[in-house]
Amino acid sequence: MKIDPASISSARTTAPSLAGWALVIDDHPLFCDALELTLNSFESFTEVATASSLDGALGCLRGNGAPALILLDLNLPDVSGLDGLLRLRREARETPVLIVSSMTDDTIINGAIAAGAAGFVPKHSPRTVFRAALFCVERGEIYRPCGNVETEDDGGTSVTVARLSSLTNQQARILDLICEGKLNKQIAFDLSIAEATVKAHVTAIMRKLHVQSRTQAALFVQDAKFSNVLPRADG
């Protein structure tokens, strides 16, 4: 859903009612501070925590429970492509994740939303746009920036991330180990589970990804790195 911030009723000046704490994930200190100040201006948030990496964010989530909202920069030092968003969605499935990035290519926006993002806000947006996006998230709707084109043919990006986002935490961990070349017996040892359980998960993973082999599954994950879609940039 696209919303023109200017169309928001001037009578509705209250803050979005996303009650609870919020988490900002951005490795650029100035942007991180600016996003923190923006969220602090909305009184519904009891606290705004920040993290400069995905690992730091995951640690914050595990120590404090699910927040009411997560703001995520796609370009972090310890993740590639949309992998960070996928991992966050698995860790906090009930929390809306709003992408805030300077990279606003339609393929990136559509891929992020296919991966489960609650919306996408360009970093150069004024506070009115953030407010509009938060009201949209509050209503359970997807926020798309003005000018975004929802394309049906995006090279398979949306299909790829949608399938990966359907994996459970355990299935995602097993898939990571498959990509490292580990056998079922080794995976079972690493995760302290029965080999039969690993086999069952591998079968479920291949079914969800629509692949026929472990090699195809690993290649599927490599495609999701989006090295040709999500360039390294200050975003």
Q: Count H helices and E strands in the chain, helices first.
A: 10, 5
Domain that holds residue 202: 157-223
**Is residue 107 in a domain?**
yes
Interatomic CA distance for residues 137 and 135, integer angstroms: 5
**Is residue 143 in a domain?**
no
Is residue 20 domain-shared with residue 88, that is, in the same domain?
yes
Is residue 27 domain-shared with residue 125, that is, in the same domain?
yes
How many structural domains are present in the chain?
A: 2
CATH number of the structural domain spanning residue 15: 3.40.50.2300
Is residue 49 domain-shared with residue 93, that is, in the same domain?
yes
Instruction: Return the pLDDT at 227.
Output: 42
Instruction: Return the pLDDT at 221.
Output: 80
Task: Show Cβ contacts of residue 39 under 8 Å, excluding neighbours closer than 6 positions.
Answer: 22, 24, 45, 48, 69, 71
Does 200 have pLDDT greater than 90? yes
DSSP character at residue 118: S
Strand 45-51's sheet: what is its strand order? 45-51, 20-25, 69-72, 97-101, 119-122
More confident residue, 17 or 76: 76
Does 3 have pLDDT greater than 50? no
Does 13 have pLDDT greater than 80? no
Domain boundary among 138, 171, 204: 138
Instruction: Return the pLDDT at 147.
Output: 79
pLDDT band at 7 (very low <50, low <70, confident <90, very high): very low
